[in-house]
Amino acid sequence: MKRNWWKESIVYQIYPRSFKDSNGDGIGDIKGIIEKLDYLKELGVNVLWLSPVFESPLDDNGYDISDYRKILGDYGTMADFNELIEKAHEKGLKILMDLVVNHTSDEHSWFVESKKSKENPYRDYYIWRYPKAGKEPNNWGATFGGSAWEYDNRTGMYYLHCFSKKQPDLNWENEAVRNDIYEMMNWWCEKGIDGFRMDVISMISKDQSFPEGKEYGGLYGDGSPYYMNGPRIHEYLQEMNREVLARHDIMTVGETAGVTIEEAKKYAGEDANELNMVFQFEHVSIGDGPYGKWTTNRYDFREYKKIMIKWQEELQGKAWNSLYLGNHDQPRSVSRFGDDSEEYREISAKMLATCIHMMQGTPYIYQGEEIGMTNAYFEDLTMYRDIESLQYYEELTGAKRMEPEEMMECLKLRSRDNARTPMQWNNKKNGGFTEGTPWINLNSNYSRINVERQMKERDSVFQYYKKLIRLRKENEVIVYGHFTAISRADEKIFAFKRELDEKRILVLCNYSKEATAFTIPEEFAIESGKIMISNYLAEECKKEMTLRPYEAVVFAFGS
Ligand code: NOJ
């Protein structure tokens, strides 16, 4: 397998709005990030992915960009950004930008022009269609609720928006659009950034016949088969690779909703000349119902384990995995996949981290995950800020598909705002996030769960992450070792081994709160097993183990 710096990296995702406010306006900013670079260095990560910091009217918190070459005033200036790159680089930290090019904001000058007339040179920068039988061109629903088409009076046509109506989709069929985007990407690379996380990149190529979507019990049809992994997607990414990516030593990760293993090998294949790796969505979609993620179903461990094993085994040697449990669109990982009760929060957060960080792929830590931050569980609708949560609340309760109480329960478990509450730095006012009024409430548990406390405590989740990261840097087997699942049928324990030359490690993770017996297979020379890391005071390696609630232990064998 080829060695690459991005395979050996650990990425930390910053959601700038909620990371650190330096000027008291209640909104995180770039100077705030600069203040915390030493903290990130201490944690040990080496790549920082910034959720969008570009100019934006903030309909979707920055995933609606109105100028790709300007920094949003709330976050600071281009001079601040330049300082961030410089200081980060001085400390050996790389910066990934969030590239949102499936759509722009409707306030981007391209769209402002495009709307003016059918003849405008920018008309074809977006996807315009005539009404069909007096209605939308097809039945596709938008990801944030409602139709994916918005009618525009001026020219009597609809434009496509797979997300909110303030996020019109770009027309990638148009070569001028592609060239403008490549030019903008090269401009950022020349500025010194180190790569891109590519927002919904699997959606940029649409089936140009725009067929009706399948009815699935929701209010609109599902158009995703016609816009996810669309007909020209690989052609576009290969072109992007030639025009931009191959010209710089950068890292790329595609956010690829709807990606299958076969598709992932094309996007991120070792010699595919597209991207370095992709985010798959199968494990974070377990239990989704007729209204997608709006359900109170808990994930099923057996299904989760099957999915994780499948991605490990099938990409190995062919493409590279991104390893994640949380991000700004997902609930907090410990609340979703672990147990955020007082009793098990720390132990289960450490167990989840062990499992993810010991797999093959590049691990991603979402801000706050390294201290075991939990869902916010907001009780009142007025506490939510996220467009997706608010639009779906309206839509599903309005259409009487869900009772308000039921939808509130879904929000508590699945709203994106669970991950977007401010970072909990200390137990002082607003958790040390801001001197002002935070743009979104803090999680009320910040006096108990915060960075300052965990940096002092020897056994904290933070210290555990530090150790996991260090181990990865010191042991090639964790990065490049061959993955093999063990005891696939076990319904509580996720066990696997990694092997590289003479080195072998065995990873055992109990995903349940019951003490569970596990027999270490014959193939391991048990007496030589040394504990690499464990979230309990570990017992020595022996044939018959009993893993305590949410216990994780990694044994190393060989020289
Ligand atoms: C995926 C991003 O992660 C999410 O936050 C955003 O709302 C959509 N793409 C639209 O850009």
User: Comparing C-alpha atoms, which of 45, 18, 64 is closest to residue 199?
Assistant: 64
pLDDT score for 145: 87
Strands 503-510 and 552-557 turn out to be antiparallel
Cα distance between the two ends of the chain: 21
Instruction: Tell me the C-alpha distance between 224 and 142, whole Å.
Output: 10
Tokens of residue 348, six digits: 């289960």
pTM value?
Answer: 0.98
User: Comparing C-alpha atoms, which of 432, 388, 202, 404 is closest to residue 293?
Assistant: 388
- Reported as a pLDDT band with limits 50, 70 and 90, residue 342 is very high
User: In this predicted model, what pLDDT tens digit does every residue of 293-303 receive, in sequence order?
Assistant: 999 999 999 99
Residue nearest to atom 5 of ligand 1 (CA): 329
Instruction: Tell me the C-alpha distance between 386 and 142, whole Å.
Output: 15
Residue nearest to atom 2 of ligand 1 (CA): 199
101 lines ligand 1 (CB under 6 A): no
- Ligand 1: nearest atom to the Cα of 64: 11
- Reported as a pLDDT band with limits 50, 70 and 90, residue 289 is confident
CA of 279 to the centre of ligand 1 (A): 13
Q: Find residue 279's DSSP bridge partners.
A: 255
- Residue 550 carries which DSSP code? T
Query: Measured between alpha carbons, how far is residue 32 from residues 16, 18, 25, 363, 454 in Å?
Result: 9, 10, 12, 24, 20
- Whether 74 is a known active-site residue: answer no
Which candidate in 255, 263, 329, 386 is catalytic?
A: 255
Strands 11-14 and 362-366 turn out to be parallel
Pocket probe for ligand 1: among 49, 165, 199, 284, the residue whose CB has the most ligand atoms within 8 Å is 199
* Torsion 374-379-384-388 (CA) sign: positive
User: In this predicted model, what pLDDT tens digit does every residue of 56-88 receive, in sequence order?
Assistant: 999 999 999 999 999 999 999 999 999 999 999
200 lines ligand 1 (CB under 6 A): yes
Strands, E assignment, 20-148: 47-50, 54-55, 67-71, 94-99, 128-129
60 lines ligand 1 (CB under 6 A): yes
**Range of weakest confidence among 214-223, 454-463, 499-508, 510-519:** 214-223
CA of 200 to the centre of ligand 1 (A): 7
- Residue 540 carries which DSSP code? P
CA atoms within 13 A on the CB side of 315: 32
CA of 379 to the centre of ligand 1 (A): 24
Instruction: Tell me the C-alpha distance between 163 and 104, whole Å.
Output: 10
Residue nearest to atom 6 of ligand 1 (CA): 63
CA of 329 to the centre of ligand 1 (A): 7
- Residue 480 carries which DSSP code? H
Tokens of residue 144, six digits: 């944030």
Pocket probe for ligand 1: among 50, 200, 201, the residue whose CB has the most ligand atoms within 8 Å is 200
Instruction: Tell me the C-alpha distance between 380 and 398, whole Å.
Output: 17
Long-range contacts of 76-84, Cβ-Cβ distance < 8 Å, separation of 24 or more: 76/29, 76/30, 76/31, 80/29, 80/30, 80/31, 80/34, 81/30, 81/53, 82/191, 83/30, 83/34, 84/30, 84/33, 84/34
- Reported as a pLDDT band with limits 50, 70 and 90, residue 539 is confident
- Whether 370 is a known active-site residue: answer no
pLDDT score for 219: 81
User: What average pLDDT does the segment 310-332 reach?
Assistant: 98
Residue nearest to atom 11 of ligand 1 (CA): 63
Kindly tell me if the per-residue pLDDT of 263 is higher than 90: yes
- Ligand 1: nearest atom to the Cα of 387: 7
Kindly tell me if the per-residue pLDDT of 499 is higher than 90: yes
In this structure, are residues 44 and 466 in contact, taking their beta carbons and an 8 Å threshold?
Answer: yes
| Residue 530: Cβ within 10 Å count | 12
HEC states along 388-450? Answer: HHHHHHHHHHHCCCCCHHHHHHHHHHHCHHHHCCCCCCCCCHHHHCCCCCCCCCCCHHHHCCC
Kindly tell me if the per-residue pLDDT of 216 is higher than 80: no
Instruction: Tell me the C-alpha distance between 239 and 273, whole Å.
Output: 9
SS3 at position 317: coil
Torsion on CA atoms 441, 446, 451, 453, rounded to nearest 10: 160
Which candidate in 74, 199, 263, 388 is catalytic?
A: 199
324 lines ligand 1 (CB under 6 A): no
Long-range contacts of 294-299, Cβ-Cβ distance < 8 Å, separation of 24 or more: 294/392, 294/396, 294/402, 294/407, 294/410, 294/414, 295/410, 295/414, 296/406, 296/409, 296/410, 296/413, 299/336, 299/337
| Residue 444: Cβ within 10 Å count | 12
Residue nearest to atom 10 of ligand 1 (CA): 63
170 lines ligand 1 (CB under 6 A): no
> Letter for the amino acid at 371?
I
Query: Measured between alpha carbons, how far is residue 11 from residues 88, 124, 148, 367 in Å?
Result: 14, 37, 33, 10
Kindly tell me if the per-residue pLDDT of 311 is higher than 80: yes
163 lines ligand 1 (CB under 6 A): yes
Query: Measured between alpha carbons, how far is residue 294 from residues 28, 81, 412, 420 in Å?
Result: 29, 37, 10, 18
- Ligand 1: nearest atom to the Cα of 329: 5
pLDDT score for 559: 65
Q: Find residue 222's DSSP bridge partners.
A: 214
Helices 345-357, 461-474: inter-axial angle, 10-degree rounding: 10
- Ligand 1: nearest atom to the Cα of 327: 3
* Torsion 486-488-494-500 (CA) sign: positive
Mean pLDDT of the chain: 97
Query: Measured between alpha carbons, how far is residue 354 from residues 102, 277, 496 in Å?
Result: 34, 21, 12
Instruction: Tell me the C-alpha distance between 128 and 116, whole Å.
Output: 12
CA angle 465, 362, 538 (to 5 degrees): 35
Pocket probe for ligand 1: among 56, 60, 228, the residue whose CB has the most ligand atoms within 8 Å is 60
- Reported as a pLDDT band with limits 50, 70 and 90, residue 516 is very high
